[in-house]
Amino acid sequence: MTTIAIVGAGPGLGAAAARRFGSEGHSVALLSRSQEHVDELAGALRGEGLTARGYAANVRQPATLIAALGRATEQLGPIEVLQYSPLPQREFLRPVLETTVDDLAAAVEFAIFGPVTAVRTVLPGMRSLGRGSVLFVNGGSGAHPNPNVAGTSVAFAGESAYARMLHEALAPENIHVGQLIIPGAIQPGHPDNDPAVLADRLWRLHAHPDGFRVYAAQPAP
């Protein structure tokens, strides 16, 4: 059994992705800053018959992310899928004229240093498996800069560039890198932005890779 590691796991998209991938036979590693929250979610998933464990990690503290992914591999099995989808922090969402250097530094730690750390940690295992997927989840500013949320607009541009380069560099190794862009809020019951609908898109990105970027409202293949 291989594992999906969900960085930024919460009760919305993270839980939905855990259920979708778990239903396909993957173990689920849930990572967030709060051990209590991921333990609660992991317990709920185990109650549904899935294999799941929670791990505390802060994407802006690389050592915690490396340690959490290492423990997940040891306890659940090799990581075949990495989902990077933590929610941006409030200071990243300020208008451009109010955004400071410190705001941007934090956003870069979150959206660039965090993904690089996570990918470099799981890549040796994917190479040993001979397959894998790295799935990035970004808001609309990941594709189109928005002056009302300058931090994510700047940092997500860097994350997107990194992800696209990975997509090209790792394709010959049977490791797919894809990006899901979600314009607007994740909303239960929404035809495109419902967590379960989005989780199914992530599954398709993994199971039926076709290109790099898809949008939540894009017709499913």
Q: For residue 161, what are its two tokens?
A: 């560039």
Cα distance from N-terminal residue to C-terminal residue, the chain = 27
Domains of the chain in sequence order: 3-215 (3.40.50.720)
> Can you tell me the distance from the alpha carbon of 176 to that of 192, in angstroms, rounded to the nearest whole number?
23
Structure confidence at residue 93 (pLDDT): 87
pLDDT in tens, the chain (221 residues): 899 999 999 999 999 999 999 999 999 999 999 999 999 999 999 999 999 999 999 999 999 999 999 999 999 999 999 999 998 888 888 999 999 999 999 999 999 999 999 999 999 999 999 999 999 999 999 899 999 999 999 999 999 999 999 999 999 999 999 999 999 889 899 999 999 999 999 999 999 998 999 999 865 55
Q: How far is CA 14 from CA 10, 87, 96, 151, 194, in A?
A: 5, 10, 29, 23, 12
Q: What pLDDT score was predicted for residue 91?
A: 81
